[in-house]
Amino acid sequence: MTQLYVGSYGDGILTAGEGITPAPSPSFLAAHPALPVIYAAGELGDGVLLSYATGGGLRETGRRPSGGDSPCHVAVHPSGTLLAAANYGDGVASLHHLDAEGRFTGEPIPLPHQGSGPHPDRQRGPHAHQCVFHDDVLHVSDLGTDEIRRYTLTGDPLEPVRLAPGMGPRHFVFTPDGRVYVAGELDGTLRAYAAADWRELWQAPASAAAGVNFPAHVDAADGRLYILNRGPNTLSVFSADGDKLAELPSGGDWPRHFAIAGDTLWIANQNSGTVDAFTLDGGLPAPTGETIAVKSPACVLPV
């Protein structure tokens, strides 16, 4: 049975059907691949990372500094031995060792960065936004420098991937067919690349709506791409080759993150304080009418 957790800028972490566990601004959550443990990014100026044992409620098992300002994303290596964090405020990413019980251990590895981009306000310096482990390389999207930064698992820097100036890469996803798709928060695009050499394959506006759009989370399932649009407040669906299949209301205001569990897609609508359910049973998403009230939801994690 799937348990749904919601990280928020409000009171803490909601365990659906069980209640709130107080936590310091847990804006992103990630699950351990093998243990009943989840991790949270405490998005504060002095960033904090937290670990929780699950089952019968959440029990905090550890916390430590994130190594930077305002952590907004965490990810766990498939081996369960490393956790990566992205600190948006100062662009510092970090690696943290995990022991056999999923607890923090050893000294963290800070991964600072320098650089800027053409946007006069949003790209004055680096802004790490998402961490993704792929083929034993840590990939970090940097909204401030228009790069996908890359590191070995021991923290040694590799050559970064330079993306379109002013794009502002936010979230991205690798797919089994050898592609990677990136949401451009600052230019409103969804772009596809060949993962082997980061050659751009296509780009498209993430939303067809008029006005400013700040795309947020992108993910793939069953050969389709799903991307959230903040401003238009929609969810767009694309084929792997860039054909627009649908664009529908997200169910609330400022959709920040979504997750898919079985044939249900859950959207965290930050400003309206709801997590809204959509069914994928008929192919394209359709609202079910089910809504969970959460103060300022930022992340949905089905486990």
pLDDT at site 2: 92
Which domain, by its residues, includes 23? Answer: 1-158
Same domain? For 12 and 149 the reply is yes
Residues with Cβ within 8 Å of 193's Cβ and at least 6 positions away in sequence, in order, are 179, 180, 181, 182, 199, 200, 201
85 with 217, same domain: the answer is no
Residues 231 and 192 in one domain: yes
Residue with token string 């420098």: 145
Specify whether 133 is located in the same domain as 193.
no
Closest Cα partner for 29 from 281, 279, 257? 257
pLDDT tens across the length of the chain (303 residues): 799 999 999 999 999 999 999 999 999 999 999 999 999 999 999 999 999 999 889 999 999 999 999 999 999 999 999 999 999 999 999 999 999 999 999 999 999 999 999 999 999 999 999 999 999 999 999 999 999 999 999 999 999 999 999 999 999 999 999 999 999 999 999 999 999 999 999 999 999 999 999 999 999 999 999 999 999 999 999 999 999 999 999 999 999 999 999 999 999 999 999 999 999 987 899 999 999 999 999 999 999
Contacts of 41 (CB under 8 A, 6+ apart): 7, 26, 27, 28, 29, 47, 49, 66, 71, 72, 73, 74, 85, 86
- Name the domain boundary from 125, 158, 191: 158
Same domain, 214 and 69: no
Number of structural domains found in the chain: 2
Residue 303 within any structural domain of the chain: no
CATH number of the domain residue 195 falls in: 2.130.10.10
* Contact yes or no for 126/145 (Cβ under 8 A): yes
Residue 45 lies in a domain: yes
pTM, two decimals, is 0.97
Q: What is the pLDDT of residue 44?
A: 98
**What are the structure tokens assigned to 73, written together?**
């994303």
Q: Give the pLDDT score at 51.
A: 98
